[in-house]
Amino acid sequence: MSRHLGVIAVLLILVSPAMARAEAPPEAFPRFEAPGEEEAMGRLRELFWLHRNGFTDCTLWDPWLPHGTLWASRTPEGAERARRFYRDVFLKRRIDHEGYVAVQQHRGLAHSDGWPFPTFQQAGGLGWYFSTAGENYLMDNFPTRALTSLDGWELHGATVEGFDPEVGLKLRIDADEASLSPPGFERKTFIAPYIRLEWGASGLKPEARPALDWRLKGEADWKPGRAVAMAHPPATGELAFADVPVHRDAEYDGMLARLRFKIDGAKGASVTLKSIITATDTRHPITNINFVRGSAEYFNWTGDVPFLRENVARVRGAMRYALKEFDVRGQHLVRVPWVGHSGRTGLSFGPNGEKTLIHGEGVGNNYWDLLPFGGDDGLATIYLYDALRILADLEAVIAAHPEWEISADGASDAEELRGLAASIKTKFGETFWLPKVGRFAGWRDRDGKLYDYGFVFVNTEAIAYGIATDEQARTVYDWLDGRRIVEGDTSQGADIYHWRFGPRSTTRRNVEVYCWVWSGPENIPWGGQVQDGGAVLGFSYFDVLSRLKVYGPDDAWARLKTITEWFGEVQAEGGYRAYYAKPGRGTLQGGGPAGGLGLDHEFMESILVPQSMLYGFLGVKPRGDGLKLDPRLPSGWPSLAVTGVHAQGHVLDLKATPEAIEVHVRATDGSPLLLELPAVFAPEGSPAKVTPEAGKTYRFPRGKS
């Protein structure tokens, strides 16, 4: 099983580098301009254009793809399409009745709102399908024949009306108490914390009571009162998933032997059942956090007040769920309580090295879906810290604009959110910092064990998002730049940047700590898997931003320029696939096969790298009613300009020199624009309020500070 095994075909098409190279960018597409660095700037624009199609409704990418797409002016129609896409994504994102925000990758074989795998087949579970229509992931990986009879099943109080190849088993409910039970089996309850049904009904009365019951091995009969209630499906008869949390019952422990789908008070209704499976809890603890971050990013770039009115309650609710579900106010970090998310490995080794797979253990929690982040989750804590500060800024902007008429229901005090974030920063350092090796661990399992494989991405994101202290950040870069060697690491010194376009994802060989589905990591050489010594292009963005914080713009630019030189060589040889087809250069992952380097296909976050120019060196931060600019130029640059910045209702060219900040207005809807500038460029106070006029340049010269 490789990372992103089942990414839907449409996404693979959208990010195809061959297609992206087929046409030149339109004139309106952003340019990066730094006199004397024209070749490198051109390469960055080319890289941006190559990965411009950063569009998916999967929550995993919420903080990254809108970050790289919403501001980029294309054609007027293209810019509007991009904004419309993410507006719809955030307004339509599924949130369950408890408040959990769905992953929405694609139809999988586990929890319907979770990551598509580990599948019930990989867990050693069971599933029954009455229709396989639309089940591409199932049929591609686990070909299955749909059932066309109820041989071995028990049906009471209902009549079979047929087996429809599109929707499955069709039943007419004939009695006030009806039930359907598949044949008996034996499976550990641990591998089946949820039972997932896909079903529909018509003519279901409000008082009808659908539920799921079970029996354990050794129980002779169904136990009264044990059934877990289920919500009604849509009244239209449309099929819907029901993820039944059987694990929450204290008696659900041992060997599962029978299941029973019950529906009382439904006489006269019609019921359709497409499938029943035992399901791993593949939810990610970062989805609510990412939804907050992505929704705020959309609003901050667009200034779309109607969107905010419609979505703000969902954003606030998503944060409330995360704070409660992960006991954030109690722990001051993200503690994942879910079955299979303990942070323990799914691989066990005996005294002679014999390996045992622990089915159900080590389930993924984020982008790095083979690694058992969980327990006390360091990466999720970093993202939560960022989300709290983003939400605090959003609440502050809302409070400053009563004319927007945004509901205060469920609002949090901005200062209280910032205070909580500060407490989390302290606890993060106390919990995950490893002073002996001078870097952050990835997570701590429920036994209190910290895991360290030289997780470069954890450390660079901790610095970029500001949860690391300045001293910790310098210590991390002493390690990454080879001034300090960590004993026991597989990769040390200059080899950490072996792949040139960025650091390795990890620096210590890992053949023992994974989700159980990744059962033979020792069979793949070091650097041959993205999550074990490989690298992901997009996350070089956090390396550049972190270097900007730690060492300043000259060091950050030296790293980014190295990336542009690598990219130039790659393009000269025909692109990623042609370049890495030559032996010894590394193996590409993407589009199915596992590999060590993530550049194209499902690695849509590659769009992040050129964002270093806007968010890093130019220091741009959108704020819903304007922009913050805090430029940091390398010493050799007389100026830096980024053109085609679509902020709220304006298209702007932004330029910084040591002596002034300039904002040129290409187009505007006439709405006011607030510009938050460093004090040295705003002697009369910041933010400066301007009413933009098309064709006009607003210049803010350096004053006496």
**In degrees, to the nearest 5, what angle opens at C-alpha 554 toward C-alphas 552 and 555?**
75
Report the pLDDT value the prediction gives residue 682, as an integer from 0 to 100: 84
Q: Flag whether pLDDT at 704 surpasses 90.
A: no
Q: What one-character-per-residue DSSP string does 72-123 give?
A: B--SHHHHHHHHHHHHHHHHH--B-TTSPBP--SS--SS-TTS-S-S-TTTT
**The pLDDT of residue 323 is above 60:** yes
Cβ-in-10-Å burial (0-12, 13-18, 19+) of 79 comes to buried
Cα-Cα-Cα-Cα dihedral sign, residues 287, 398, 654, 547? negative
Mean predicted confidence (pLDDT) in 118-140: 98
Q: Is 92 exposed, middle or buried (0-12, 13-18, 19+ CB in 10 A)?
A: exposed
pTM score, whole prediction? 0.96
DSSP per-residue codes, 238-294? --EEEEE-GGGSTT--SEEEEEEEEEES-TT-EEEEEEEEEE-----TTHHHHHHHH
d(CA 262, CA 211): 5
When pLDDT is cut at 50, 70 and 90, the band that residue 22 belongs to is low
Q: How far apart are CA 170 and CA 157, in angstroms?
A: 14
In this prediction, residue 73 carries a pLDDT of 82
Neighbours of 393 (CB within 10 A): 19
Q: Specify the pLDDT at position 688.
A: 87
Q: What is the pLDDT of residue 9?
A: 31
- Strands (E) in 280-346, as ranges, are none
Mean pLDDT, residues 544-568: 98
| 422 CB-near residues (< 8 Å, 6+ apart) | none
Token digits of residue 85: 């896409």
Mean pLDDT score across all residues of the chain? 95
What is the pLDDT at residue 79? 78
pLDDT tens, residue by residue, 279-315: 999 999 999 999 999 999 999 999 999 999 999 999 9
Q: Are 488 and 316 in contact (CB under 8 A)?
A: no
Among 17, 52, 15, 46, which residue's Cα sits nearest to residue 31? 46
Do residues 168 and 193 make contact, with C-beta atoms less than 8 angstroms apart? no
Q: What is the rounded distance in angstroms from the CA atom of residue 521 to the CA atom of residue 572?
A: 34
Summarised one tens digit per residue, pLDDT across range 58-107 is 999 999 999 999 999 887 677 788 999 999 999 999 999 999 999 999 99
Instruction: Answer whether 307's CB lies under 8 Å from 200's CB.
Output: no
Res 18: pLDDT: 43
The answer to whether residue 349 scores a pLDDT higher than 50 is: yes
**pLDDT at position 519:** 96
246-269: average pLDDT: 97
pLDDT at 518 over 50: yes
Give the C-alpha distances (Å, rounded to integers) separating 209 from 193, 237, 244, 335.
22, 16, 14, 34
Is-cis flag, bond preceding 687, omega within 30?
Answer: yes
Please write the tens of the pLDDT for every residue from 166-220. 999 999 999 999 999 999 999 999 999 999 999 999 999 999 999 999 999 999 9
Q: What distance in Å separates the CA atoms of residue 375 and residue 403, rounded to the nearest whole number?
A: 44
The structure tokens listed for 646 are: 């679509």
